[in-house]
Structure 1
Amino acid sequence: MNRHENGFGGSKAELVYGDGEYHVVRKGTFVVCAVTGANIPLEDLRYWHADRQEAYADAAAALKRELELRGQE
């Protein structure tokens, strides 16, 4: 269990992802990776897709999602 599970240490944030930045709609300490389901602390959030409004835990997760949608996985 990590610090973001079961309400310990934070809550899920709701964001609107833009090009190079995001805006907080609902305050929280983490978002969930669209590929892995892992909780991503906001201070560690570096990868997202603005058109899809999805967050990714890392570059590998972002690439995996892109390949899935292109039918190349």
Structure 2
Amino acid sequence: MLMMNRNKQAKLHYMANGFRMLSSGDHVVCAVSGEKIDLDELRYWSVAKQEPYASAEISVRAALSKG
């Protein structure tokens, strides 16, 4: 039962202080780099854009881009 969500992309709702799982899984995909991010490693996201980022540098780059 615990293995059900292995290698499955989760769908999340990103909030200011965390995220809520909408669809279970074990990772998300960085909106910029396409890199797989394990949920326990997810630290950066945009509440406004509702997208995850693999690193602080990528999140800043995404915040500065128009779009």
TM over 0.5: yes
Tell me, which stretches of 5 or more residues in structure 1 are unaligned? 1-8
Question: 1:57 pairs with 54, 57, 60, which one?
Answer: 54
Asked if 1:39 is matched to 2:39, the reply is: no
Aligned residues: 62
**TM-score using structure 2 length:** 0.86
Gaps of 5+ in 2: 1-5
Moved over 2 A (4+): none
Q: Which has the higher helix share?
A: 1
Among the aligned pairs, what percent are the same residue? 35
The normalised TM-score by structure 1 is 0.79
